[in-house]
Amino acid sequence: MSVQAAPLRWEVYLAPPKRVLTADLAPGEQRRMWPPTAATLIYGARDAVLVDPLMTIAEAGALADWVAARGKNLTAIYATHGHADHFFGAGMLLDRYPEARLVAAPGVVAHMQRQAAPESIASVWNMRFPGQIPDDLAIAEALAGDVIELEGRELLVVDAGHTDTGQATYLHVPSVGLVVAGDVVYNDVHLFLGESTAERRRQWLAALDALEARGPTVVVAGHKRPGAPDHPRIIGETRAYLCDFAAAAAASGSTLELYQRMLALHPGRLNPGTLWHSARMQKG
């Protein structure tokens, strides 16, 4: 190429917290909330790639409008992992952008299929978010290889193993030092550890080490406090939380004790309801 393409840029759309129906509330908790969830648009002079197209009908509609206002040609939608809150909105985005390809790593595609299965929708997602789940759920096509190309630049798909769920990935954009982390990194929000075991926490810690070794200057977390900087220090903060949880789980005899120990260590993080769920799954 004789003419150097313009550097890639990005913008983050943060969906606000939303209520999730559950009967298992923490002491003093009035209603359970789902944390703010990030979608990221990476773009060049003309084309764009959208990462993690959110979940509910309202979120996907607002996100599609937000993307439209950026005036870019959407070529791909990428899902970092198979949890519903990061991809159930994809079908609505594809309705608005039929030229875009919905892509994910092969392991993520299999997870998406399980999350979008009728029994999962009926027993989990429609119970938690009644009337808010789109009817038409799109499943990604499996990416061949580990690169999404955007105006001559590479978006690298990196396997992270088990983080807050199995077969998670993140996107690394080396040309601008950006990592779009999905749920591999959290930003001032309690981590979801409802699927966690000691071995899985070891995998998550290894993924954080590998991510940090890539030397990103910007890390966009899948769940973040509104206004929190996308600073790479959140890698270390996520690591510290995992280590604290492991120690607190070992020292605690009950859900309540684990919850209270972690709250004392991390009093400022958003969404303690997620911590209650993590503690419940750990201690029964």
Task: Name the region of 124 (left: φ>0; alpha: ψ -120 to 50; beta: rest).
Answer: alpha
By beta-carbon proximity to Zn ion, the closer residue of 150 and 191 is 191
Question: For residues 75 and 115, which CB has a smaller minimum distance to Zn ion in the complex?
Answer: 115
Rounded CA Rg of the chain: 18
Q: How far is the CB of 250 from Zn ion (least distance, A)?
A: 26
For Zn ion, the closer of residues 43 and 245 by Cβ is 245
Rank residues 59 and 183 by Cβ distance to Zn ion and give the closer one: 183
Contacts 24+ apart (CB under 8 A), 230-234: 230/12, 230/187, 232/179, 234/185, 234/186, 234/187, 234/188
Provide the binding-site residues for Zn ion, judged by CB under 5 A.
83, 85, 183
Residue in 147, 137, 158 with CA at minimum distance from that of residue 60: 137
How near is the Cβ of 86 to Zn ion at its closest, in Å? Answer: 6
| DSSP bridge partners of 101 | 76
Nearer to Zn ion, 83 or 261 (CB): 83
Beta carbon of residue 223, minimum distance to Zn ion (angstroms, whole number)? 6
Residue 63 CB, nearest distance to Zn ion (Å)?
Answer: 15
Task: Report the alpha-carbon distance of residue 284 to residue 281 in Å, rounded.
Answer: 5
Q: Which residues does residue 15 pair with via DSSP β-bridges, in sequence order?
A: 37
Supply the minimum distance, in Å, between the C-beta of residue 81 and Zn ion.
8
DSSP per position, 62-98 = HHHHHHHHHT-EEEEEE-SS--GGGTTTHHHHHHH-T
